[in-house]
Each structure stands twice: as structure tokens, then as C-alpha cells.
Structure 1
Amino acid sequence: MPAFGSITPRTRCSGSRRCMWGNNFPIEKLWTDLRTLLSTWQNVPAGRSAEEIADVFGATANRVYRLC
């Protein structure tokens, strides 16, 4: 599994507007399933603001890749 403890310092240093979530699925099926992976990631942003969570889990990617 990823080193989840390394995520918070990165978002503090760079800001949530410069961070986005990604994964290597289906390669990660070698050690986990998608449900476990997603439920684990949902617990990572505890203590972060709603705006920071939205940035990391979608808003940054939408802005960078002009998806919306």
C-alpha cells in the first residue's frame, strides 16, 4: 500500500491546488482490490478542509486537464 503518511506534508508544502489523486489500477490488483483501495484513500484526508479534499480528489485534475 502507498505511504499515506507522506501525503499530508506534500499538500502542506505544495498546496492542495497543486496535488491530485491518482492510482495504478489495475496493476494494484496484485496486492489489493478497488473497494479496499478507495475506502483507504477516503480516510486519508481526515482533518483537511472540504476545499482541500475537493482539490486533491478532482478539482485540480479538472483545472489542469480542462475536464470541465
Structure 2
Amino acid sequence: MAYTWQYYDLVLGGIAVSMFFGVGVGYLTSVSLTAAVIGAALVAVAIIGHGLFVNGPVDEPTDLTKEVETLN
């Protein structure tokens, strides 16, 4: 069975790619490493925010109010 990519795989990949890109920009251009990494971190925060709030891991808002049975 072949693996199929899921949305959250892309979210995690996007975070890693943005941070590696920031480090690359910092080392390979005249932009300071600190500024490049901060810029990349802001992109990563945007990706995380999209994964949490725009396309969250729940089907409906009422799913957030359900009690977790496995922890009781």
C-alpha cells in the first residue's frame, strides 16, 4: 500500500522548508542570519496558524467540546 500525503504532512514540511530557507538566505546573501531566520519563523508561524485555525484538525466546532474517553 502506498503512502498518501495528508494535509498535516505538508504543514510539517512547510515549517521545515521555511526554516531551512531562512538559514540558507542568512548564509548565502547579505541579509543577516538573525533577520533571515526571524523572517522564516514568521512564515512558519503563518503555516502553523493555518493548520490550527483555518484548517483545524476537527470536523465541527462541537468536536472541541467532546470529552475524551480514553483519558478517564
What is the TM-score when the length of structure 2 is the normalising length?
A: 0.34
Work out which of the two has the higher radius of gyration on C-alpha atoms and give 1 or 2: 2
Q: Which has the higher contact order (CA 8 A, sep 6+)?
A: 1
What is the TM-score when the length of structure 1 is the normalising length?
A: 0.35
